């Protein structure tokens, strides 16, 4: 039997509808409109496309959204001065600096200069620490792992007791926070990476297999336990064989067709984890606005 398809687009839609309702309720209760400031430096087309999508979604959610587009020649001091201004602007509840930055700028330093209360990307060390210690009431969770967890919960519910989870990838952006979220939900978690020995065997022990590597279709059918839930975070652009003009398509870190024959449930690429990232960014922004207004935010997903 073919694996169940986990529809990230539908889950993301449902989160966005909840964000819209929460935004309207906050306006009514406290006269407060969530404000999202997006900062982009340089003219990388992919980054501009992401930022455009985020700004459009923020508007759809009813936020006051501002975009700060800076030239590639912007200095670290200029960028930090802008972030410092946004940190103290009471109309701004979320500050997002689109990564990657041009090579002369220090992205890590800049990420740490965003106020933790406005760090809607969930990348500040304070927020990473809160996720690691299981404090989900005052911190902001990194958007992609938060979204991937919504998809895991849609299959298994919120208590993963007794389930083995394997996360391939240990980045600060995804692998580490995802592992912490799975652990907080009572899964038994293994984190694998490029130095892991016999990765296929470790993956075969997983009831929940999460791949966040950046290697097209690395995970094949023989890595997957029968009936497992497979969450594919990878986004890789590959050439379509036999097509002229270098036509490309997006694939994940998992061989989707192969996984369908073995897994119990799988996320497609595109249409799985990807749409959840932007939805959770909106959820984090409205959460930050509730907290700034001194009101307990609703839970999303």
Query: Which residues lie near ligand NAP (CB under 6 A)?
Result: 144, 168-171, 173-175, 192-196, 199, 212-215, 233-236, 273-274, 277
Catalytic residue annotation: 54, 98, 121
168 vs 288, beta carbon nearer ligand NAP: 168
- For 169, phi then psi, to 5°, come to 120, 135
List the beta strands (DSSP E) in 98-244.
Answer: 164-168, 188-192, 208-211, 229-232, 236-239
Contacts of 243 (CB under 8 A, 6+ apart): none
**Best CA proximity match to 207, nearest among 225, 189, 192:** 225
Q: How far is the CB of 154 from ligand NAP (least distance, A)?
A: 16
Q: Compute the distance between CA of residue 180 and CA of residue 292 in angstroms, rounded to an integer.
A: 26
Alpha helices in the chain (DSSP H): 8-30, 45-60, 76-88, 107-113, 125-132, 143-156, 175-184, 199-203, 256-262, 273-292
Question: CA 79 to CA 105: how far, in whole Å?
Answer: 9
With respect to ligand NAP, which residue has the nearer C-beta, 11 or 144?
144
Q: In the complex, what is the shortest distance from the CB of residue 214 to ligand NAP, in angstroms, rounded to a whole number?
A: 3
- Nearest-approach distance from CB 113 to ligand NAP, in angstroms: 20
If phi over 0 gives left and psi between -120 and 50 gives alpha, with beta otherwise, what is residue 137? Answer: alpha
Between 32 and 180, name the residue whose CB sits nearer to ligand NAP.
Answer: 180
Q: State which residue, 87 or 236, has the beta carbon closest to ligand NAP.
A: 236
Determine the distance from the C-alpha atom of residue 195 to the mean position of all C-alpha atoms in its chain, rounded to a whole number: 24
Distances (CA, A) of 126 to 70, 91, 117, 139: 27, 22, 9, 8
Closest CB to ligand NAP among 42 and 252? 252
Q: How far is the CB of 293 from ligand NAP (least distance, A)?
A: 29
Q: In the complex, what is the shortest distance from the CB of residue 8 to ligand NAP, in angstroms, rounded to a whole number?
A: 9
**Minimum CB–partner distance for residue 235 and ligand NAP (Å):** 4
Pick 73 or 109: Cβ nearer ligand NAP: 109
Order of strands across the sheet that contains 229-232 = 4-5, 265-266, 229-232, 208-211, 164-168, 188-192
- Tokens coding 204: 């075969």
Is residue 233 within 8 A of residue 144, CB to CB? The reply is yes
**Are the beta carbons of 230 and 254 closer than 8 angstroms?**
yes
């Amino acid at each position: 039997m073919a694996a169940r398809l986990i529809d990230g687009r539908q889950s993301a839609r449902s989160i966005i509808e909840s964000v819209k309702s929460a935004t309207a309720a906050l306006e009514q209760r406290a006269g407060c409109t969530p404000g999202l400031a997006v900062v982009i430096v340089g003219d990388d087309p992919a980054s501009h496309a992401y930022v455009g999508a985020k700004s459009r979604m923020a508007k759809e959610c009813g936020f006051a959204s501002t975009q700060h587009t800076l030239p590639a020649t912007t200095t670290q001091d200029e960028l930090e001065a802008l972030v410092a201004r946004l940190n103290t602007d009471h109309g701004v509840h979320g500050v997002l600096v689109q990564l990657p930055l041009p090579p002369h700028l220090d992205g890590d330093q800049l990420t740490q200069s965003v106020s933790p209360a406005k760090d809607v990307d969930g990348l500040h060390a304070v927020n990473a620490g809160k996720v690691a210690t299981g404090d989900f009431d005052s911190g902001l969770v990194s958007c992609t792992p938060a979204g991937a967890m919504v998809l895991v919960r849609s299959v298994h519910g919120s208590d993963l007791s007794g389930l083995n989870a394997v996360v391939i990838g240990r980045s600060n952006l995804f692998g580490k926070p995802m592992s912490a979220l799975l652990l907080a939900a009572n899964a038994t978690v293994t984190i694998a990476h490029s130095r892991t020995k016999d990765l296929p065997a470790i993956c075969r022990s997983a009831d929940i297999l999460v791949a966040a590597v950046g290697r097209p279709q690395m995970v094949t059918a023989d890595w997957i336990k029968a009936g497992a839930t497979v969450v594919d975070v990878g986004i890789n652009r590959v050439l379509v064989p036999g097509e002229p003009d270098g036509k490309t398509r997006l694939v994940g870190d998992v061989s989707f067709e192969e996984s369908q024959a073995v897994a119990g449930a799988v996320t497609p690429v595109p249409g799985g984890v990807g749409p959840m990232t932007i939805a959770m960014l909106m959820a984090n922004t409205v959460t930050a606005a509730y907290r700034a207004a001194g009101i307990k935010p609703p839970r999303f997903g």
